[in-house]
Structure 1
């Protein structure tokens, strides 16, 4: 069986050790000959990489491992780039959250003003990765799960339309894992789903048992009406397990009430109940602070412990099992498995009564030529109206980046359902420009 060369872009991420372990767990499906980490933050990456080096020496010494800040080394001789980058790290995420909250608006990593700010930092960084990949390994594929995925995917559509890039998000995976637990299934792969929307902005319309064809929606509806997406095991998962997520999963009850025929993505609460979100936000200790005090500290402490001890045999780092969808995607391309997956792709008529140029999140069949979107048909007016508004926000953000347009970015913020007026949008924008002066294009 062919073995593959992979570079993980974002080598200094706290998710990287768990993803490395996940890749090792899946060697039978996706054999690896070479694994590289790439990051432009050398010191941060070195801590993660040296721990991963020990991990690989003990568990898979046959895999050639390296890490670098040199894009030539990183992107030469690769089959896949798995990208999960965060320009500005958590210090900028903290500002993304706290600046909008200061103005009485939702402060969130991928939604509203914070997501727009993050998007404008991510666009040039992801495009740079694509260009490196195409220059040094022109046959490689980028599997991008960098946030905010909706804005990044729209930028890829406009700026690099022919690039071999597939954009994907783990939130639907996590929710489908919750469906599996609610239903008493061992795996989300035991049922088929239909889903449509934008990234972090969508709805499940169908959940069926793969083997029997049984409609499972009535059973899920009964649970969600009372418990939201809280599962019998509570908040014990590795991913999305902090206290702030508990409120998000409970709030699904209210999001679900707006359309009980579907199951909503959790992030819809930010657009449908922004007043509630702001009221229940701690303006001094946001999600970024929670991550820095929790996961960030925990992972780097463990990496340093592994390095000091020279062994990872007793590590507390867990396999990022939720991230096995990345292997599903790579395997589908590598071995033409025709896996059915939710991807973020140009609509091109898949949703019949929606903008064909919008980047939508829908089921696709993945083979060695990429993604083949499935037909969704027409969607209801409520969802279409929400999506029309949000996709215009995303398009305006990308246009603002390309044109260096202050006006279009102000329009994007004004159009966001998380911001109440053009005046508030302008005040937030001016603060964000100052905070992001080292990252954004110059706006005129």
Structure 2
């Protein structure tokens, strides 16, 4: 089986390779191709990938190339994990919105829009090349903003599923509290990418007993501390919000905090420099502990499980006892799952995944606190996608005006000017 990773020079990649080595029975990979234009990153990452596989006795070969067509030719699956503009662009995304009193973050708000504008055209170009070289390949998108990028790919007719590691992290967090293996925990995880709530936590599968009320009752103080929200907010919601909801529920407080500390991009850039130095060491044969601080925890488990289900190698059985498929949280076409959104919206939800793709499971009732915000952000995402596909200052302004983290016309005007100024080299229309 041939797997290509576009953005293979990412410091995340050894995490993925470690998972491929450990989970070889789930996904039997014979060829791993790392594709990246940055040779200074690609070579040390590929070298470590080869040593990790060799150390664990995995027979797969690792090829490194900057050529997308050559790298994806004959691939069964293509993973996208790229960052257009690198950490330098991310640093801009996290700083200039603060000048206008708005959250600076790389996947949501004005910074998230900037990333979408830079990323969607590049991803669509790569996907068209994949379609020419490997028309039957599945494209797994881990590139942020995952919801918008996945929707762009689906709208262009590509075989694609989006992936985020928020749900798999929460699954393991809850499993630890319950004292059960992670695979026994099913999440009623619904919303949009980076805008999700756990509406239930079920033991044994989608039809299992919901233990979320018990978890919230027994661990409310710990959850509130982790999420940096008052306990009363959790009690009012009655569900478990992802940590990204703090940008919405405590926007102004978050802005003031972000103004007083270095950007996450600066921290990550320093970490990446050290990781690449470590990857260059021929004595290193395993992913270093520092990688755990980089983010993307359990990315490898989620990615391997998803690709294996799509390619039919997992031999899995979902919680309803249907063989040959797995229930996993992915970014997928809505198709009526959340009835208040259009059918072609991309939602993040548990889905039955198999060789024919991903089909979301029926959702429990979504309350107005969640449904209202989901609808609001979906409207922004539609306008953001139009801006990414067609360009133009007016489309950018409309998307910002629609975003609940912006909303005011004077802020939207100021943010539009800054977004265009900081991203001109990546915007063909600017």
Residues 6, 79 of structure 2: 8 Å contact kept:
yes
120-129 or 372-381, which deviates more: 372-381
SS at match of 1:268: helix
- Call closer, same or farther: CA 1:120–1:253 in 2, change over 3 Å: farther
Distance 2:420 2:171 in 1: 37
- Call closer, same or farther: CA 1:441–1:26 in 2, change over 3 Å: same
Distance 2:286 2:350 in 1: 39
SS at match of 1:350: coil
Match of 1:406 among 386, 389, 393: 393
Give a deviation string over 1:304-356, Cα, whole Å, max 9, x none.
Answer: 223xx4x5269657796442011111111222631001111221211223332
CA RMSD of aligned residues (A): 2.2
1:93 aligned onto 2:90: yes
Partner of 1:304: 280
- Call closer, same or farther: CA 1:77–1:420 in 2, change over 3 Å: closer
Match of 1:280 among 257, 260, 283: 257
Distance 1:84 1:153 in 2: 12
**Could you tell me how far 1:380 is from its partner in structure 2?**
2.2
TM-score (norm 2): 0.90
Residues 191, 348 of structure 2: 8 Å contact kept:
yes
Match of 2:370 among 357, 367, 383: 383
Partner of 2:124: 127
SS at match of 2:175: helix
Partner of 2:188: 194
Residues 35, 64 of structure 2: 8 Å contact kept:
yes
Distance 2:270 2:218 in 1: 33
TM-score (norm 1): 0.88
**Could you tell me how far 1:57 is from its partner in structure 2?**
3.7
Residues 91, 265 of structure 2: 8 Å contact kept:
yes
Distance 1:225 1:291 in 2: 31
Give a deviation string over 1:368-397, Cα, whole Å, max 9, x none.
Answer: 111112222653222221111101111101
1:396 aligned onto 2:393: no
SS at match of 1:361: strand
5 Å matches for 1:344-363? 344-363=331-350
Match of 1:110 among 107, 110, 117: 107
- Call closer, same or farther: CA 1:315–1:151 in 2, change over 3 Å: closer
Match of 2:154 among 145, 154, 157: 157
Partner of 1:370: 357
Match of 1:268 among 226, 234, 245: 245
Residues 34, 46 of structure 2: 8 Å contact kept:
yes
Residues 400, 407 of structure 2: 8 Å contact kept:
no
Partner of 2:165: 170
Residues 352, 378 of structure 1: 8 Å contact kept:
no
SS at match of 1:14: coil
Partner of 1:240: none
**Could you tell me how far 1:218 is from its partner in structure 2?**
2.2
1:7 aligned onto 2:1: no
**Could you tell me how far 1:257 is from its partner in structure 2?**
4.1
Unaligned 5+ segments in structure 1 are 231-245
SS at match of 2:30: strand
Distance 1:313 1:413 in 2: 43
Number of equivalenced pairs: 415
Distance 1:19 1:281 in 2: 30
SS at match of 2:158: coil
Partner of 1:329: 306
